[in-house]
């Protein structure tokens, strides 16, 4: 279940906080499989752009009439250039070859497509690692590519390389922006300082003035269940809702069983050898949802007191309810809060019914 009012509220809170630092929020919908209502809720809450790494998701937003610019945040595939120009208003880029193809296609479609060039500041996913090449590409777009508009530059941190958006990284991005501005003789519209993890700069008050956009996904979708709170302890996340998404699953079996498997142990359904703790006979509920739907049991958090997720296979999850405050019956619904990757999987699953509130 998706509570769009709570998502709008999260967006409003973080947009307000960012606005104090002169930063606009672009809402990233890929974590919720691009549900159009999610995009709409983010726009209602103040997101000035909607972003996705999947063109299909942006296409749905365009068709639904989401009224803000659409930003493609995965470096475009050469094979999707035509559709990208038709669908997205802006894209993140790091390859001159792709920029050339985008330019040619934009001219063909009679459009001006905006590009944000990515600088790799050490997280080692996308972006120009050689910053001389970044400036050269910026000058090329500015002077030689009439189908493109150089909207600005950006970076991504805290993803594959887990590099934190520390002050030196943000200052480096601001410095690169100024270097490019000197080379092209005008100001850039957008300097995009990263994703949810870059809220650190906002919360700790070190964001350089030059940085004026963040691309927020997880922070809006998960609130305090995001790393900014869970790992780094930022209390500023406490004001946000952690229940934008709720998993509701039905109990199909309740029995007292041993807590340690009985027999010679091999591997489980995923080829793993889990360690089982023998806690004697315990009351367990089996619910009709499994790892095929949400991924990992650590990413679902039971709401009811005294219950614990103890294991799962593809289509079943086992809940220890021995110490539960509630009395459960077959057919009852159990509810769970969700971490980011569970939200991503569940919203994308065809076997899960999606309810928008
Ligand atoms: C996924 C993604 C984001 C959003 O990241 P969150 O951690 O969910 O805020 C921003 N920028 C890029 C390039 C991304 O791929």
pLDDT in tens, 299-351: 999 999 999 999 999 999 999 999 999 999 999 999 999 999 999 999 999 89
219 lines ligand 1 (CB under 6 A): yes
Structure tokens at 83: 């559709």
Q: What is the Cβ-side half-sphere exposure of residue 328, based on CA atoms within 13 angstroms?
A: 30
What gap in Å lies between CA 247 and CA 245, rounded to an integer?
Answer: 7
**Which residue of 159, 164, 198, 342 sits with most ligand 1 atoms within 8 Å of its CB, as the best mutation to test the pocket?**
159
Q: Is 256 helix (H, G, I), strand (E, B) or coil?
A: strand
The Cα angle at residue 197 between residues 196 and 201, in degrees rounded to 5? 105
In tens, the pLDDT along 216-240 reads: 999 999 999 999 999 999 999 999 9
**Residue 118 — pLDDT band, cuts 50, 70, 90?**
very high
31 lines ligand 1 (CB under 6 A): yes
How does DSSP classify residue 21? Answer: T
Residues marked active site are found at 30
pLDDT at residue number 107: 98
318 lines ligand 1 (CB under 6 A): no
Chain centroid to CA 93: 19
Q: Are 39 and 31 in contact (CB under 8 A)?
A: no
| 26 alpha carbon – ligand 1 mean position (Å) | 10
How does DSSP classify residue 299? Answer: G
- Report, in angstroms and rounded to the nearest whole number, the Rg of the chain calculated over CA atoms: 23
216 lines ligand 1 (CB under 6 A): yes
| 267 alpha carbon – ligand 1 mean position (Å) | 36
Nearest CA to ligand 1 atom 15: 73
Burial (CB < 10 A; 0-12, 13-18, 19+), residue 139, is middle
How does DSSP classify residue 124? Answer: -
In tens, the pLDDT along 241-285 reads: 999 999 999 999 999 999 899 999 888 888 888 888 899 999 999
pLDDT at residue number 161: 82
pLDDT at residue number 277: 87
Cross-strand partners of 50: 27, 70
Structure tokens at 37: 């209502």
What gap in Å lies between CA 10 and CA 25, rounded to an integer?
Answer: 12
154 lines ligand 1 (CB under 6 A): no
218 lines ligand 1 (CB under 6 A): yes
CA atoms 116, 224, 202, 43: torsion sign = positive
pLDDT at residue number 268: 86
Question: Which residue is it, tokens 């001006």?
Answer: 112
| 171 alpha carbon – ligand 1 mean position (Å) | 20
Beta strand residue intervals within 146-224, DSSP E: 148-155, 190-192, 213-216
What gap in Å lies between CA 227 and CA 256, rounded to an integer?
Answer: 36
In tens, the pLDDT along 151-206 reads: 999 999 988 888 999 999 999 999 999 999 999 999 999 999 999 999 999 999 99
Q: What atom in ligand 1 is closest to the CA of residue 31?
A: 8
Other C-beta atoms lying within 10 Å of the C-beta of residue 36: 18
4 lines ligand 1 (CB under 6 A): no
| 129 alpha carbon – ligand 1 mean position (Å) | 19
Query: What pTM was estimated for this model as a whole?
Result: 0.96
Q: Is 114 helix (H, G, I), strand (E, B) or coil?
A: strand
Q: Are 149 and 113 in contact (CB under 8 A)?
A: yes
Q: How far apart are the first and last CA of the chain?
A: 7
Q: Are 72 and 92 in contact (CB under 8 A)?
A: yes
Q: What atom in ligand 1 is closest to the CA of residue 92?
A: 13
pLDDT at residue number 276: 85
Average pLDDT, the chain: 96
Q: What atom in ligand 1 is closest to the CA of residue 221?
A: 8
CA atoms 102, 103, 108, 113: torsion sign = positive
Spatial CB neighbours of 289, under 8 Å, sequence gap ≥ 6: 247, 249, 315, 316, 317, 352
């Amino acid at each position: 279940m998706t509570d769009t009012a709570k998502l709008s509220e999260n967006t409003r809170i973080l947009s307000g906080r960012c606005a104090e630092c002169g930063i606009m929020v672009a809402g990233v919908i890929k974590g919720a499989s691009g549900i159009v209502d999610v995009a709409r809720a983010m726009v209602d809450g103040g997101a000035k752009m909607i972003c996705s790494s999947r063109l299909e998701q942006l296409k749905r937003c365009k068709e639904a009439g989401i009224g803000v610019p659409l930003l493609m945040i995965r470096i475009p595939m050469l094979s999707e250039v035509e559709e990208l120009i038709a669908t997205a208003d802006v894209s993140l880029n790091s390859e001159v070859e792709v920029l050339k193809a985008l330019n040619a296609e934009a001219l063909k479609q009679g459009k001006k497509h905006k590009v944000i060039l990515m600088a790799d500041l050490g997280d080692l996913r996308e972006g120009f690692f050689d910053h001389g090449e970044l400036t050269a590409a910026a000058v090329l777009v500015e002077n030689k590519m009439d189908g493109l508009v150089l909207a600005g530059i950006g970076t991504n941190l805290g993803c594959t390389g887990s590099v934190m958006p520390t002050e030196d990284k943000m200052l480096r991005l601001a410095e690169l922006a100024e270097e490019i501005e000197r080379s092209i003789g005008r100001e850039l519209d957008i300097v995009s300082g990263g994703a949810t993890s870059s809220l650190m700069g906002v919360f700790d008050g070190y964001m350089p003035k030059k940085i004026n956009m963040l691309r927020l996904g997880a922070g809006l979708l998960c609130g305090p269940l995001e790393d900014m709170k869970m790992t780094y302890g930022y209390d500023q996340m406490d004001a946000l809702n952690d229940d934008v998404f709720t998993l509701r699953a039905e109990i199909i079996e309740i029995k007292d069983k041993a807590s340690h498997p009985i027999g010679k142990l091999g591997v489980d359904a995923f080829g793993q050898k889990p360690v089982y703790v023998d806690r004697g006979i315990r009351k367990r509920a089996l619910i009709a949802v499994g790892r095929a739907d949400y991924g990992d049991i650590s990413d679902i958090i039971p709401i009811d007191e005294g219950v614990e997720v103890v294991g799962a296979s593809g289509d079943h999850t086992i809940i220890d309810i021995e110490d539960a405050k509630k009395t459960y019956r077959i057919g009852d619904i159990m509810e769970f809060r969700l971490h980011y990757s569970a939200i991503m999987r569940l919203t994308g699953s065809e076997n899960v019914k999606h309810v928008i509130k």
